[in-house]
Amino acid sequence: MLNVAILMGRLVADPELRHTPNDVSVTSFTIAVDRSYVKSGADRQADFIDIVAWRSTADFVCRYFHKGQLVAVQGSIQTRSYTDKDGNKRKAFEIVADNVHFAESKRDGVGAQGSFHSKTDTTNDQPVPAYASGDTGDFEEMPSDDDLPF
């Protein structure tokens, strides 16, 4: 059997970390995934896909991802049945995430709900991206090597 789902979309809200009674980390979040086609004369449509992440993946998502960020999710499709408050039988489809990845560069993510900002410009109270303030984190610039054979 094969059940693999790979999606790329933007988080519609900040993920919130919860814990089961056995102290297992879990988070549920939704991503907006643009459809690959557009009907002539119409706006592009998006599907809103529910994602569930467990344990260390849930911890990672809640720590590093925020509303508006572009994420790539790899996991499997699961269904579950339940009865709603009105007694109607319902079926839910969701992706159980095995891996969640950053899908845009740090620089591209600057506008996404305060993501990747380290300081505030006191002249106009606007966030300043970390890379603009000289903060390069754990990275260092490599010297140019123009004599490579390829």
CA distance 128 to 119: 5
* Superfamily name with CATH number, domain 5-37+44-104: Nucleic acid-binding proteins (2.40.50.140)
Q: What is the tens place of the pLDDT at every residue in 33-74?
A: 999 988 888 898 999 999 999 999 999 999 999 999 999 999
Beta pairing class for 46-54 and 89-102: parallel
pLDDT in tens, 102-122: 998 876 654 444 433 334 444
Q: Indicate the domain borders of the chain.
A: 5-37+44-104, 105-139
